[in-house]
Structure 1
Amino acid sequence: MDDTIALAGLPMSLRWEALPTGWSPEPLRIEAGPGTDLFVDPAGDATYLNAPRLLGTPPEGDFQLAATVSVDFAETFDAGVLLLWADEQHWAKLCFELSPQGEPMVVTVVTRGPSDDANAFLVDGDKVRLRISRIGTAFAFHASVPPASGSGAARWSFVRYFDLGASAVRIGFEAQSPTGKGSAATFEDIRFVPERLSDLRDGS
């Protein structure tokens, strides 16, 4: 049986790496069960690799993958994620996540063995646009908050630039609820552009 999934806006098919408790394709909505996460504690205390994730292999060369993400926030660390995945030791996630203070924020985790976790900025709203870019052998994360009505076009904020330490990657979407009873993330206006990002920090 063919278990591949095609999503509008993407040039490749995707497959579930870990199954969700439920999902729908248009718009893409992923439901995560309780205690789901992707994280390798750098202190060596715990490893979690059970978050539901939908992944596919992008075409060769530079690209940009973007989506507008919203989350049914209920508990700390509930999140919707754009994900880079090579293997269980090499992956990175760009998250729209609920902080311990109950505030939505952009968070990144880059894992090369242990995870390197970093907060980016708070989001005053219920949606954020996230983007992953491949630039040669490196990757970049950006985020954009929708502007207030009549205030002009949104601009991208630089979040992170890194080498994953792996050449063959899959990309896609993840939802998680590490401390909660479950959550769901919705990914809208998914766009894939097979072009090199022109500038890391100019906001375009």
Structure 2
Amino acid sequence: MSTTFAVPGIPFGLTPSPGSDWVVAGDRVEVVAPAHTDLFIDPSGESGTAAESMLNAVTLLGAPGAGDFVFSARVHAGFGAMFDAAVLLVWADERHWAKLCFEQSPAGTPMVVSVVTRGVSDDANSFTVDGDAVWLRISRVGRLFALHASTDGDWWHFVRAFALGDGIDEVRLGFEGQSPTGEGCRVSFERVSFARETLGDLRDGR
């Protein structure tokens, strides 16, 4: 039987992926992402399939239920290698999901990155971050999902908006850690918040 975690700020339980070692201590959630772990389905078709190594990142996910929401956290990553990342994740199934990442870029600079997967993954860089932490936020507005990031938890930069696909109503929501090219990465999440509310204007910074 899977362990269910209660995370302060989230009104539903979260279940870890098999073999992952998530820890909840006070209001902080953390895990060490193992070496060579990631969530990505290469659109070129050259990196394999969903059944292979591309969907082996450690996750901690729960079901928010129907309706709009706003989910956010301040995230940290102990970067050691390219594409190490701490991630907020919304997951429908192995071919429909999206992640908002605090990730180490190929230039060695921390960066906000988003990936939306509908059959295959896309990949878009947003902005660089001066430091080892950033605020990330995923919101649902009807069938639309919106991603935002903030350096101070007050003013939110719009990253992107998208739909995962027709007929996708039930999703799981939570955290992910990855280290695709490295030997592991410690990631943590704090000041976690989940609100059953509808976000207003996606581009007004609130």
Whether the 8 Å CA contact 1:18–1:54 is kept in 2: the answer is no
1-structure distance, mates of 2:92, 2:170: 6
Among residues 51, 60, 66, which one is paired with 2:72 in the alignment? 66
Deviation of 1:18 after TM superposition, in Å, equals: 4.1
CA–CA distance in structure 2, aligned partners of residues 198 and 19 of structure 1: 39
Kindly report which structure 2 residues correspond to 1:1-204, keeping only aligned pairs within 5 A, or say none: 1=1, 3-20=3-20, 22-26=21-25, 27-46=28-47, 47=49, 48-146=54-152, 154-165=154-165, 166-204=168-206
Give the SS at the match of 2:114. strand
* Partner-residue secondary structure (3-state), 1:189: strand
- Give distance in 2, aligned partners of 1:180 and 1:159: 26
Q: In structure 1, what residue type is equivalent to 2:45? A: G
1:63-102 deviations in Å (ceiling 9; x for gaps): 0000000101000000000001011000100000000000
- Identity across matched positions, percent: 55
Q: 1:160 to 1:54 in 2, by over 3 A?
A: same
Q: Which runs of 5+ in 1 are unaligned?
A: 147-152
The root-mean-square deviation of aligned C-alpha atoms, in Å, is 1.2
Work out the CA distance in 1 between the residues paired with 2:170 and 2:65.
Answer: 11
Extract structure 1 runs of 4+ deviating beyond 2 A: 17-20
Amino acid of the residue matched to residue 103 of structure 1? T
CA contact (8 A) 2:78 2:132 kept: no
TM-fit CA distance, 1:4: 1.2
Q: How many residues align?
A: 197
C-alpha contact 1:57 1:170 (8 A) present in aligned 2: yes
Q: Does the CA contact (< 8 Å) of 2:2 and 2:16 recur in 1?
A: no
1:203 aligned counterpart, secondary structure: coil
Moved more, 161-170 or 134-143: 161-170
| Residues 41, 28 of structure 1: alpha-carbon distance in 2 compared, 3 angstrom cutoff | same
Whether the 8 Å contact between 1:63 and 1:193 is mirrored in structure 2 is: yes
Describe the shift of the 1:24–1:43 C-alpha distance in structure 2 as closer, same or farther (beyond 3 A). same
CA shift digits 1:24-64 (9 cap, x unpaired): 10210011110000000000011400000000000321100
Q: Is the 8 A contact 2:16 2:22 kept in 1?
A: no
CA contact (8 A) 1:18 1:50 kept: no
- 1:134 and 1:144 map into 2 onto residues whose CA distance is 18
Distance in 2 (CA, whole Å) between partners of 1:67 and 1:33 is 22
Deviation (angstroms), 1:19: 3.1
Gaps of 5+ in 2: none
Structure 1 length-normalised TM? 0.93
Give TM-score, length-normalised by structure 2.
0.93
